[in-house]
Amino acid sequence: MPVRVRQALLREIDEDEVLRWAGQPSARAFAWRAVGAAVAGALFAWTMGLASVVPAWMTWIEVGEISGNDSARRAASTVYVAIGLGAALALIGLLSLMWPWFAARRARRTVYAVTSTRVISLLVERAGTVRSSSVEPGHPLSISRRERSLGEGDVHLYPTAVQGRPGMLSLIAIRDAREVERVIRRTFDPPGAGSLG
């Protein structure tokens, strides 16, 4: 496990929690899951690029026979724009083929953990930002947090479903987001929720 990910996990664990298991997802499995979407995205972008360039090129050939007038000049500018759009879509198609690599990289920055009180999913992003989601059995809330390097961040609360519809409350750009999450969990802990046995 990379050092940054291990340190983020250790900071996540409360003093009264016991870490029972921690592991990372398979980077290879993450990459293979992204292959289908990457190929579909590339094929779509390339198809749209061709659909942009081919009609413009045909128009250029037809209008080129009437060269020297305003129609030919307007057709030339349209062809240049269409070719630029087609080139941009071709580049987007190539970039979408890199999606499996990005997915594998994300897996290497992800850790899952089971503690004595909850199940945690943790993603360490660039610039020290940490995304945390946790479910605490017996607790009325599911909580996710996005915390930036100086502790400021967002806390999202997902209460149990009300009339079949899930609720959500977001505390945006608060100082010391991790401590706010701890206060919420302690405040709303039902009796006996602090231990899984």
pLDDT in tens, 159-178: 765 555 556 777 777 788 88
What gap in Å lies between CA 107 and CA 95, rounded to an integer? 19
45-103, pLDDT tens digit by residue? 888 888 888 877 777 677 665 555 666 666 667 777 888 888 888 899 888 888 889 88
Three-state SS at 35: helix
What gap in Å lies between CA 130 and CA 109, rounded to an integer? 10
User: CA nearest 83: which of 61, 51, 45, 43?
Assistant: 51
Q: Contact 77/110 with Cβ under 8 angstroms?
A: no
Q: For tokens 């999202």, what's the residue?
A: 156
pLDDT for 134 equals: 80
